Structure 1
Amino acid sequence: MPNFSEIQACCRELPDDSRYFPTDVFQLLDKQKLLQLSLPKKFRPQDNFPVFKALFETGKASLSVGRIYEGHINGLKLIEDFGSAVQKDFYFGEAKKGKLFSVWNTEMSSQAVKAEKKNNSVHLQGAKIFCSGGLEIDYALITATMRGGKQLLIIHLKEYPQLNEDWSLWKPMGMKNSVSCRIDFTGLKVSLGMLLGNPESYEQEPWFSGGAMRFAAVQLGGAEAVILAVIEHLKKLNRSQDPYQQQRMGIMAVKIQSGKLWLEHAQKLYENFEDYSACEIVNFANMMRSSILEISESVLHLAERSVGVQGFMEDHPLEQVYRDLKVYLKQPGPDLALQNVGSYTFEHYSI
């Protein structure tokens, strides 16, 4: 059983530095076998621990760590879904050794990554931004435009010492330890064996949209960390008996508990996905991310009301997690996700 108290203690020692990768924390995650928990059974060193519980607890310890950890889980999921037998044996073996994976898709249109086959290799041009984990990651799954569509490739980052971390676009208010820098792949030549799946595999449903369940679980962990910071503050000031504070805390507690119900159902769906249609999985993910976004924003608002200006002072228990959650909630397409829930409802609900 993972010791999340130990992980939280390790995360509390992290400097709030946008170029500091949390190496010690990920060594601890590896030691506690959390980097391997989503692997197929033959590669797992122990009985499985619920993935969404792990994402939640990691997010509660540090949203930056949770972001990198979610990317690791995502990368392994893509290899499981689209990798060849040879790729699965190799990369899952690497994950078992504690190697880190990530998925980097975000790019500026003017610098979009393109790939071209030449003889027995693939030549890359372009850059990705918000590359969480940076060059501390061992294997980065990136998307590149190729003839036929958007292609996934697995880049063995340690084999390309010419790669550099560009910090010019990473000056965030929060989520600093996710070290989400820009990396330029122009000039890289990789083998055909690094192609993963077919063109357009990456955006294949239900897991392209369904993956939102993972980051929502991390966000909810951050929202619970906000509540814990508020409780610590109010108890220290002997204000836990104030009726207005109790009312606000009651509202926050109800919201977090409702979020945990989403996590429980997400775990059941994840484990029994064959019982659901692709449309049902996508719709559930859209509902879950929308609900946890609302929960988290409400918790932040109530926490701000409860603590006041003291919560925005450096070194206050609330200050960093508040900033981190504010930034991490800025996931793409929230309005479209909710619109799609409405469209699904009109089509599938009947009087």
Structure 2
Amino acid sequence: MLKFSEIRACSQRVPDDPHHFPSEVFRLITEQRLLYINLSGEFRKEAFPISVFQALFEIGKAGLPAGRIYEGHINGLELIKAYGSSSQKDFYFREAINGKLFSVWNTEMNSEAVTAERIKSQVHLNGAKTFCSGGLGIDYALITAKMDGGKQLLIIPLKEYKQLEEDCSLWQPMGMKNSVSCRIDFSGIAIPPKNLLGSLNDYEQEPWFSGGAMRFAAVQLGGAEAVMIAGLEHLKKQNRTADPYQQQRMGTMAVQIQSGKFWLEKAQDIYDNEDKYTSGEIINFGNMMRSVVLEISENILHLTERSVGVQGFMENHPLERLYRDLKVYLKQPGPDLALQNVGSFTFEHYNL
């Protein structure tokens, strides 16, 4: 039986520090076999009691920084599933089963974009990635690099390169601190060609480049429920549950969280039955889901803030850190464009 309450309790004990990887949280996640929940049956050889999107939601609910790292791990395995060779899948999936963590790092500054060049029998890297969630707590980083006129995915076994360092000077946010989303400079690193994943520009192939937003939306929704629960527990302790205004707010939040869970179910259906949907439908649903979860989460933050008041912004209050983490994690790129694309798709495809 999965014990997400233990993961939640452990997440609450992790120092709110950009240098502190939540290793104990991931020890529990590993023990509960959640690192390979999205692998096919030939690798995991067992049924899981919950779906991939339920796991993303529950770990987000337990702690958003760990949820962010976990989502990156799931994304990494999905990319290997989609573009890896048979030998790569066999090796890296068994590594995941053995507790190794993966992540996907694409963000970079234009002035130091990562490049890769073949020189003799090695691929030499130059440049740095920013917002490297998990930092050097990750075992295998999937990064993108400019190479041969395109964008190439590379798999970097981080533990083999002792010269790599975490630069947290750019990661000083108000929340999500222990997601350890640091800058890492890969200049001077050389990897064997077998560590190239897929072909040029595979990383941005649709529908899952955009449709993958469903994953981080699932984590966000879990964080939103955690915020709501913190408000609920506060009101119970203050004996304010009979207040009609508080009941109205709590009712509104409960409806919105439940509606979000219906989106999770549909996301899982699309994930399990991809062949039943067109690429455009998957992309559109991803844009819709991230938009609606953003709205739900912002409403939860507002209503909980109104319900708890200034006490919830004291450092020793359970809500304070949850509030900051969700506020930061909601800042995903391109929310306006996502909603615009939903509108464009609707004009073209909506059945009247």
TM-score (norm 2): 0.98
Name the structure 1 match of 2:271: 270
Deviations 1:104-131 (A, max 9, x none): 0010111110111112211111000010
* Correspondence list, 1:9-48, <5 A: 9-48=9-48
Secondary structure of 2:151's partner? strand
Corresponding residue number in structure 1 for 2:204: 203
Following superposition, the deviation at residue 148 of structure 1 comes to 3.1
Between stretches 47-56 and 71-80, larger displacement belongs to: 47-56
The C-alpha deviation readout for 1:285-332, integer Å capped at 9, x for no partner, is 000000000000011011111111111000101100000000000001
Structure-1 separation of matches of 2:224 and 2:297: 5
**Deviation above 3 Å: which 4+ runs of structure 1?**
none
1:46 CA drift (Å): 2.2
How many angstroms does 1:176 deviate by? 0.9
Q: Please give the secondary structure, in 2, of the residue aligned with 1:35.
A: helix
- Looking at structure 1, the residues matched to 329 and 286 of structure 2 have their Cα atoms a distance apart, in angstroms, of 17
Match of 1:288 in 2: 289
**CA-CA distance at 1:41 after TM superposition:** 1.1
Instruction: After TM superposition, list the pairs within 5 Å mapping 1:5-84 onto structure 2.
Output: 5-48=5-48, 49-84=50-85
Shift of 1:219: 0.2
Q: Counterpart of 1:289 in structure 2: which amino acid? A: R
* 8 Å Cα contact 1:114/1:144 also seen in 2: yes
Secondary structure of the structure 2 residue equivalent to 1:130: strand
- Residue 326 of structure 2 corresponds to residue 325 of structure 1: yes
Q: Distance in 2 between matches of 1:167 and 1:18?
A: 7
User: C-alpha separation between the residues in 1 aligned to 2:45 and 2:244?
Assistant: 49
**Partner SS for 1:186:** coil
Matches within 5 A, 1:234-249: 234-249=235-250
What residue number does 1:145 align with?
Answer: 146
Percent identity between the two aligned chains: 70
Cα distance in 2, alignment partners of residues 262 and 96 from structure 1:
29
Q: Deviations over 1:166-216 (max 9, x none)?
A: 111011100011011100001111110010000110000011001100000
Q: Distance in 2 between matches of 1:17 and 1:340?
A: 37
What is the root-mean-square deviation in Å for CA atoms of aligned residues?
0.8
Instruction: Read off the aligned partner of 2:308 and give its amino acid letter.
Output: V
Deviations along 1:219-255, one digit per CA (max 9) or x if unpaired, are 0000000110001111111101100000111111111
Match of 2:231 in 1: 230
2:16 is paired with a residue whose SS is coil
Which amino acid counterpart does residue 17 of structure 1 have in structure 2? D
Shift of 1:350: 4.0
Equivalent residues in 2 for 1:66-105 (5 A)? 66-105=67-106
Contact 1:64 1:324 in 2 (8 A): yes
Structure 2 matches for 1:178-193, cutoff 5 A? 178-193=179-194
Aligned 8 A contact 1:141 1:153 in 2: yes
Q: Determine if contact 1:8/1:61 at 8 Å carries over to the other structure.
A: yes
Q: Which runs of 5+ in 2 are unaligned?
A: none
Q: What's the secondary structure of 1:115's corresponding residue?
A: strand
- The answer to whether structure 1 residue 349 and structure 2 residue 350 are counterparts is yes
Inter-partner Cα distance in structure 2 for 1:26 and 1:198: 31
- The letter for the 2-side match of 1:54 is A
Residue 153 of structure 1 aligns with an amino acid whose one-letter code is L
8 Å contact kept, 1:36–1:45? no
2:341 counterpart of 1:337: no
Q: State the TM-score, normalizing by the size of structure 1.
A: 0.99
Residues 33, 45 of structure 1: 8 Å contact kept: no
What one-letter code is carried by the residue in structure 1 that aligns with 2:114? V
Distance 1:241 1:32 in 2: 39
